[in-house]
Amino acid sequence: MPRPILATIHSAALQHNLARARQAAPDAKTWAVVKANAYGHGIERAFEGLRSADGFALLDLEEAQRVRALGWRGPILLLEGVFETRDLELCSRLDLWHTVHCDEQIDMLAAHKTNLPHRVFLKLNSGMNRLGFTPERFRSAWARLNALAQVDEISLMTHFSDADGARGIIHQTRVFNEVTRDLPGERTLSNSAATLRHMTDHAATDSDPQDSLVSDWIRPGILLYGSSPDHPQHTSADWGLLPTMTLSSKIIATQAIDTGASVGYGSNFVADKPMTIGVVACGYADGYPRVCPTGTPILVAGQRTRTLGRVSMDMLAVDLTPLLRAGLSVGFGTEVTLWGRASNAAVLSIDEVAYAAGTLGYELMCALARRVPAQVQD
């Protein structure tokens, strides 16, 4: 028998979360962002739940090919555009829309031979200072693209640096609206955090049109996967999101230990009373963060308890003492939910585990290890 660890991808939850995104921006079309192998879920496994999106946005040409291989004929957007000239041939062949964020990409397009002009998304650097043309250079880039026979429609795009934080999005929204004011073309601005946190405020107020976040396409990623973009300020439950990935395993051993006994490498945890611990078949080689300290929440038989001591490569320890005291029969073979949804429908958000590890749900999903088998379920 294989080790009992398993990742379950929930199609119905993906559908539900996509519907939440649409609800937050009812007039916009939705790019389902499936970069990084659908945030670790597996593009092929996530596709069923996300197929009612208006398009798929990603980074790798190889991922774009996989989406086409699934039979998707709708829009696909390369969020970083092309990296070298021959990528444009694949864009022509697979009808991929691509971001243009620098002069070199315009040079490559100008030299590209294609019968079919390309749909491009011209990116403005409105303050994040990662990709895009500065406000001063944006319009000349637009004019240059507009003059190319290789270019069909030009859409306008920017990305927020602080949509999940205190600084918010107004400063960048103003820059975007100012620079693009009289340019034609569809607009796309919002990631998950902007979609959930700001779309409704903006729709509700009749503030300065320069602050308007109304756009043609939203680009949610993390919210589709049931993680809150601004945990712990708002939890995934606050946003009405459902977990789309459950990481589960089983207890493979128990130990009854006395006061003063330690657990795991480095004797990092020392019992202050007699306890029963469970050993779970999941470790950092499965993608569970090694830095999770004693006390990280975990579900055993769908009941909340805590981890104990250091996470090792293939195992971690949990506290069974309170569950046994409550009369539950937990032991060898009992279901453990590292994150996601337990059999009894109890939920442990990936954000809580990420928070204990000092990181984000994004990183945990993306770091799910290859050795963990996965299944798709409703």
Ligand X SMILES: *Cc1c(COP(=O)(O)O)cnc(C)c1O
Provide the binding-site residues for ligand X, judged by CB under 6 A: 33, 35, 79, 159, 191-193, 219-222, 229
The yes-or-no answer on residue 265 being catalytic is yes
Closest to ligand X by CB, 53 or 279: 53
| Nearest distance, CB of residue 108 and ligand X, angstroms | 20
Closest to ligand X by CB, 5 or 193: 193
Cα–Cα distance, 129 to 273 (Å, whole number):
53
Closest to ligand X by CB, 213 or 323: 213
| Nearest distance, CB of residue 238 and ligand X, angstroms | 16
| The residue to which tokens 């004011």 are assigned | 181
Give the CB-nearest residue to ligand X: 221
252-256 own/partner pairs: CB under 8 Å, 24+ apart: 252/4, 252/279, 252/280, 252/281, 252/315, 252/332, 253/278, 253/279, 253/332, 254/278, 254/279, 254/320, 254/331, 254/332, 255/279
Q: How many helices (H) and strands (E) does the chain have?
A: 13, 19
Cα–Cα distance, 218 to 367 (Å, whole number):
25
187 is in an annotated binding site: no
The active-site residue out of 35, 39, 225, 284 is: 35
Q: Yes or no: say if 134 and 127 are a contact pair by the CB < 8 Å rule.
A: no
| Nearest distance, CB of residue 223 and ligand X, angstroms | 6
| Nearest distance, CB of residue 235 and ligand X, angstroms | 16
From the list 252, 226, 239, the residue with the least C-alpha distance to 348 is: 226
73 is in an annotated binding site: no
Closest to ligand X by CB, 38 or 315: 38
Residue type, 208: D
The active-site residue out of 250, 265, 284, 288 is: 265
- Beta-strand relationship, 303-308 and 297-300: antiparallel
The yes-or-no answer on residue 355 being catalytic is no
Provide the annotated binding site for substrate: 130, 313
Catalytic residue positions, numbered: 35, 265
